[in-house]
Structure 1
């Protein structure tokens, strides 16, 4: 099952995001060793600067998806004002289709 993490950064936290980015990318690579991450990337503000994240993962349950989201270094350092974990169905342009 797929789950989308819709993450909104705290205001004024761009430097925290940039400082934590190497750990975040390393973490994404490590959990993707078994294909957990379907895709991921930042939301951008009007100036093109990151201000949130969209991460889609494969997980057996929503509880497991929430545990994955909580393990993100961005979440651990308090970057996010909110993280919404939602079941998601990939219908259009799905590579396996």
Structure 2
């Protein structure tokens, strides 16, 4: 089942995001290797700077999605003000490999 991780950064945390990005990118690469990442990318503020994340993961259930989200280096670093996790159904424009 797919789950959307809708993450909002804490105000004034761009430097923390920048500092933690290499570990976060490695985490996402690991999810790709495990077949658990559908897609991911940052939300952008009015100036075009990242201020949150949308990460679409494959997980067995909500508990597994929550556990996976908690292992993200951004989450461990305390970057996020909030994380909303929602089950999602990919209907249109779904790649054959997803």
TM-score (structure 1 length as normaliser): 0.97
Q: Which residue of 2 aligns with 1:91?
A: 91
**2:22 counterpart of 1:22:** yes
TM normalised by structure 2 equals 0.96
Runs of 5+ in structure 1 lacking a partner? none
1:18-63 CA distances to partner (integer Å, 9 max, x unpaired)?
0000000001111221210000000000000000000000011110
Tell me how large the CA RMSD over aligned residues is: 1.1
Deviation at 1:92, TM superposition (A): 1.1
Q: What runs of 5+ residues in structure 2 fail to find an aligned partner?
A: none
Structure 1 residue 51 and structure 2 residue 51: aligned? yes
Aligned length: 97
Runs of 4+ aligned residues of structure 1 deviating over 4 Å after TM superposition are: none
Q: Which residue of 2 aligns with 1:5?
A: 5
